[in-house]
Amino acid sequence: MRTVLITDVRYRTAMAVIRPLKRAGYRILAVQASAEAPLDPPAFVCRSVDECVRLDGSVHDAAYADRLLALCRAQTERPALFPIGADTLSAVAARRAEFQAVCDLLVADPEILDSANDKRVVARAARACGVPVPREFDVANGERPVFPVILKPRCGEKLGLHAEQRYAVARNAAEFDAAWARMSALDPQCLVQELVEGPGCGVCLVMDAESRPVSVFCHRRIREYPITGGPSACCISIYDEKMVAQAVSLLQALHFVGIAMVEFKGGRVLEINPRVWGSYPLTEAAGSRFAEDYIRAASGTVFAQPDAAYRRGQRMRFVLNDTLSVLAHLKKGHLRVAASGLADLFRAKEALFRFRDQRPFWRYLRQTLRKGTRA
């Protein structure tokens, strides 16, 4: 039985990688650096996990990559590696050749990862291949923005910010001055773009070693928490051929390898998340073979065409975050949104809860309630 090492299993997305791969016949080794998870993560009590491993120290340690390499070498047969966290992905990318010598994985060069994380580089690449992006205002050189606008660091995740802290909206000059002071302090080269409103959509892809698409999955956000622009609390699987073509074109222009989610709003590209994204559990809920396709492509399988076999119209919710989202909409008087949220109690799958494997959900719920609703 082939072993897959899945890292950073403290993230709630890990369960949607672990369970489908176990069903596909793989041996699952759940890996977590101790410093980032003082308590045993929910994945450690998952019935689909064959072995749990705590690595000493932190993902930020200089020796972290060495510890992960040693774990790969310790397997009796060549394993596959599925990095979930951005920090692990960066550590592996920095020593890509060494990891490729001992395990199967798909990861881009560090320079390509940096480009995919940089919203300005992504916008330029998108424009160069004819993919629409929001208008950007060159405020640093005196261009006056046309309101409303959104301000964001070029790479908010590298600053250690939560999703709702990575942007500021300004609808007039006074709001802009305050937002500019805050965002430019975080990143002197922050972006100022026209505000594109409406539901966000994601085109999620596995790109093989030759930057060819091997698996595709699309989703649309239904509700977020915080409702002013946080991560997905509820989303639905869709398919949009035009967005898929644009996302593939953009990732190939960057020579990207691995997993990425290209975020769209109003038909325009906002950014790339070059890693496992927050609403990833929808892939499992909709029956996608996304994780399995990654392992097969990492092992050298060439796909004649991208695998897009999954249920369209499948809803998925994170029960805690979505409950808070519905309550916030009720407080704001958004009755239609709140009513839809109540209906999703019956029509949306919960991201983590499974009747035959309940312990990870209850552990996640307890740990999250102790520290707040961010996960």
CA end-to-end distance (rounded Å), the chain: 32
Q: With contact defined as beta carbons under 8 Å apart, do 9 and 30 qualify?
A: yes
- What pLDDT sits at residue 375? 43
**Candidates 3.30.70, 3.90.1150, 1.10.1790, 3.30.1490; CATH matching 135-194:** 3.30.1490
CATH 3.40.50.20 fits 3-104, yes or no: yes
The domain limits of the chain are 3-104, 135-194, 200-371
pLDDT at 372: 67
Q: Which helix (H) or strand (E) holds 190?
A: none
Residue 181 has φ and ψ, to the nearest 5°, of -60, -40
- Phi then psi for residue 280, to 5 deg, are -50, -35
- 3-104 and 200-371 have identical folds: no
pLDDT in tens, 19-68: 999 999 999 999 999 999 999 999 999 999 999 999 999 999 999 999 99
This prediction's pTM: 0.96
pLDDT-based confidence at residue 130 (cuts at 50, 70, 90): very high
Q: Dihedral, CA atoms, 277, 278, 281, 286, nearest 10 degrees?
A: -70
Least confident range from 87-91, 164-168, 257-261, 292-296: namely 164-168
Architecture of domain 200-371: 2-Layer Sandwich (3.30)
